[in-house]
Amino acid sequence: MSSTLPAPQPADREGLYRVIANRRDVRNGFRDDAVPDDVLTRVLAAAHQAPSVGLSQPWDFLLVRDPVVRARVHDLSVQQRAAYAATLPTARATAFRTIKVEAILDTSLNVVVTCDRTRGGRHVLGRHSQPQMATYSTACAVQNLWLAARVEGLGVGWVSFFDERELAECLGLPEHVEIVAYVCIGYVDAFPPAPELALAGWANRRPLAWAVHNERWGNRALPGEEPVTLLNDTLAAIRPLDPAAISEAHERQDRLTKPRGSLGVLEDLSVQLAGLAGACPPPLPEPAALAIFAGDHGVHAQGVTPWPQEVTAQMVANFVAGGAVVNAAAAQVGAEVCVVDVGVAATLDPVPGLLPRKVRAGTADMTAEPAMTREQAVLALETGIEVARDLAAAGNKVLLTGDMGIANTTASAALIAVFTGADVAAVTGRGTGVDEQTLARKVDVVRRALALHRPDPADPVGVVAAVGGLEHAALAGFMLGAAALGLPVVLDGVIAAAAALVAQALAPEVTGALVAGHLSAEPGARPALARLGLRPLVDLDLRLGEGSGAVLALPLVQVAVRVLHDVATFDSAGVSDKDTPAPA
């Protein structure tokens, strides 16, 4: 009988989990003392024991100590760091300047972990259809190195601010060898208690429960828990505003060095956001991310707009390229722009900045059949929730809504009519500027769709499925997802307001997270916002969509909160309050 390995002891188990939990990426606080040869050998031996495809062990370790070489490598990383910083919205760029991303010169030992995808010839077991398995195997070696270094008291920082080929050339590597990791290694006295990026507020760890699916994608639950749909999980997490934080914010506003109430709506806003965060002052709403949800509409066939449907896809390309009005506005206020294809009719090429989340290629014509199935409506809602979660985990403190979809003011009018009970003619507008005859047709189209489906406002999923758009459903999900995480959402115009009515019907408390960015010139906006109980911050006759009105309102939201952070109180500034006479 062949011998087997000894069973792990409880102390092994605890030790291993502790090391995994306490492993840190380290870029600060390195000491000068060198890593002894025996220690380094142990660490490299641990790396070399990693699992690998077909036992191919495709890695090698290049030890770099020469200060001249490290200085050259450092120069390369400085260039890439600058190139990355140039792509960041202002608030992100400011935060990025405070983050250290490499320690090439601070540690006297740098290790390059390389991968040879050709090692072992044609027949490496498991690499036949997936050559990238060699690279993944090498990443396992890096992880082993990282954990072994941790138990030796060595900090490891993985630097990826490189053009890989440029770095390979600088290091004189053979052509067939790729660089998987460049790590800086050295002794440190202390390891940060949490990822440094989390401590810096740059990004947050995603909870495990978000990542575990049961049997089919989306059926999330931790082992032993009842699976719950993303939508239901999100709805259950939406809470009323925190009354303690609300009264604290009220009191603080009254103590600030200004006449009470003189900041008008901005005071109410600051109180709302304190209630939402459950803290006074609430976090500053930055960085900000705008998500533009794009979808097409089958009702376009009814001649409700003079614009061809292809414009949806063309504008998506424009947003991604940075050429639209909303890009200019977002650049000015420092918001990130993220474009989501939730239902564009055309097939879009993958490009950075575009999230491919197509639920279906445009809705059906609501005058003939439901715009989408209930399942598709739920999928689109959940798509919006996921986007909100991702943008929150990426460290954004406020989300903004945007939309693109030729004919989407028609679907918005239908949604607003259903949820407000207003007459269709009173909530149907000219959208992108239709003439009298087209407006009359548009009203008739909405009336016919409502007569056909008789949507029930008590069944919001059914309503959005019957007469909504994929971007409406996704926007509603986006708002719900943000509210569930206590994050404010600044709404753009009438499309967002229509979507917010869907969200409100699903979870009335969602309105606590919503801020109406502006009053759209579309007639449906006013009754929709009234029903939501929201007061628009900006009123400039805008009717552009794209998220432009939300972006314009962002600085107002930020000022409202900053006042709670920065403004002196009567006590602290020694200023006499009107109602409290100065001491004699």
Ligand X SMILES: Cc1cc2nc3c(=O)[nH]c(=O)nc-3n(C[C@H](O)[C@H](O)[C@H](O)COP(=O)(O)O)c2cc1C
| Active centre residues (catalytic) | 546
Site string for ligand X, 45-84 (x = CB under 6 A): ----------------------------------------
Tell me whether strands 109-116 and 154-159 are parallel, antiparallel or unpaired: unpaired
The yes or no reply on residue 92 touching ligand X (CB under 6 A) is no
For the chain, the C-alpha Rg in angstroms (whole number) is 28
Tell me whether strands 177-187 and 154-159 are parallel, antiparallel or unpaired: antiparallel
The stretch near ligand X (CB under 6 A) out of 23-31, 37-45, 407-415, 431-439 is 23-31
Q: Where are the alpha helices (DSSP H) in 212-348?
A: 230-237, 243-255, 264-277, 310-321, 325-333
- Which of 206/565 has CB closer to ligand X? 206
Site string for ligand X, 263-292 (x = CB under 6 A): ------------------------------
SS3 category, 196: helix
Which residue from 322, 483, 494, 503 is spatially nearest to 405, judged by alpha carbons? 494
* CA–CA separation, 202 and 197 (whole Å): 5
The yes or no reply on residue 195 touching ligand X (CB under 6 A) is yes
* CA–CA separation, 103 and 457 (whole Å): 58
* CA–CA separation, 132 and 431 (whole Å): 49
Please list the residues that pair with 184 across neighbouring strands.
Answer: 110, 157
Residues that bind ligand X (rule: CB under 6 A) add up to a total of 10
- Which of 159/503 has CB closer to ligand X? 159
Q: Are the C-beta atoms of 295 and 406 separated by less than 8 Å? A: no
**Where in 27-46 is the site for ligand X (CB under 6 A)?**
27
CB of 176 to ligand X, least distance (A): 21
Instruction: Identify the residue whose tokens are 């390229």.
Output: 321
Per the structure block, which two tokens stand in for 382? 């959940």
* CA–CA separation, 549 and 536 (whole Å): 10
CB of 17 to ligand X, least distance (A): 14
Torsion of CA 210, 216, 221, 226, to 10 degrees: 150
CB of 21 to ligand X, least distance (A): 9
DSSP 25: B
- Which of 197/559 has CB closer to ligand X? 197
Instruction: Identify the residue whose tokens are 């972990």.
Output: 113
Instruction: Identify the residue whose tokens are 């047709």.
Output: 441
**Where in 454-483 is the site for ligand X (CB under 6 A)?**
none
**Where in 512-571 is the site for ligand X (CB under 6 A)?**
none
Provide DSSP, 363-412: ---TTTS-SS-HHHHHHHHHHHHHHHHHHHHTT-SEEEEEEE-TTHHHHH
The stretch near ligand X (CB under 6 A) out of 21-29, 232-240, 444-452, 499-507 is 21-29
- Which of 160/232 has CB closer to ligand X? 160
* CA–CA separation, 460 and 154 (whole Å): 55
Contacts for 13 with CB less than 8 Å, ≥ 6 apart: none
* CA–CA separation, 517 and 472 (whole Å): 17
* CA–CA separation, 237 and 484 (whole Å): 5
**Where in 98-117 is the site for ligand X (CB under 6 A)?**
101
CB of 65 to ligand X, least distance (A): 20
∠23-26-27 over CA atoms, to 5°?
175
CB of 20 to ligand X, least distance (A): 10
The yes or no reply on residue 25 touching ligand X (CB under 6 A) is yes
Contact residue for ligand X among 160, 219, 332, 569 (CB under 6 A):
160
The stretch near ligand X (CB under 6 A) out of 129-137, 154-162, 529-537, 543-551 is 154-162
- Which of 161/319 has CB closer to ligand X? 161
> What one-letter code names the amino acid at 343?
G
- Which of 221/393 has CB closer to ligand X? 393
- Which of 87/332 has CB closer to ligand X? 87
Task: Output the CA torsion sign for 10, 13, 17, 20.
Answer: positive
CB of 26 to ligand X, least distance (A): 7
CB of 260 to ligand X, least distance (A): 44
CB of 194 to ligand X, least distance (A): 7
CB of 96 to ligand X, least distance (A): 10
- Which of 24/357 has CB closer to ligand X? 24
SS3 category, 291: strand
CB of 138 to ligand X, least distance (A): 11
Tell me whether strands 335-343 and 109-116 are parallel, antiparallel or unpaired: unpaired
Nearest residue to ligand X, by Cβ distance, number only: 195
Q: Are the C-beta atoms of 212 and 223 separated by less than 8 Å? A: yes
Q: Are the C-beta atoms of 343 and 358 separated by less than 8 Å? A: yes
- Which of 196/242 has CB closer to ligand X? 196
The yes or no reply on residue 187 touching ligand X (CB under 6 A) is no
Contact residue for ligand X among 30, 59, 161, 478 (CB under 6 A):
161
The stretch near ligand X (CB under 6 A) out of 57-65, 155-163, 286-294, 349-357 is 155-163
- Which of 161/293 has CB closer to ligand X? 161
The stretch near ligand X (CB under 6 A) out of 22-30, 331-339, 425-433, 490-498 is 22-30
- In Å, what is the CA distance from 454 to each residue of 372, 411, 446, 447? 15, 14, 11, 10
Per the structure block, which two tokens stand in for 279? 């803290």
* CA–CA separation, 213 and 102 (whole Å): 35
- Which of 81/258 has CB closer to ligand X? 81
**Where in 321-380 is the site for ligand X (CB under 6 A)?**
none
CB of 140 to ligand X, least distance (A): 12
The yes or no reply on residue 159 touching ligand X (CB under 6 A) is yes
Query: Which residues make up the interface to ligand X (CB under 6 A)?
Result: 24-25, 27, 101, 158-161, 195, 197
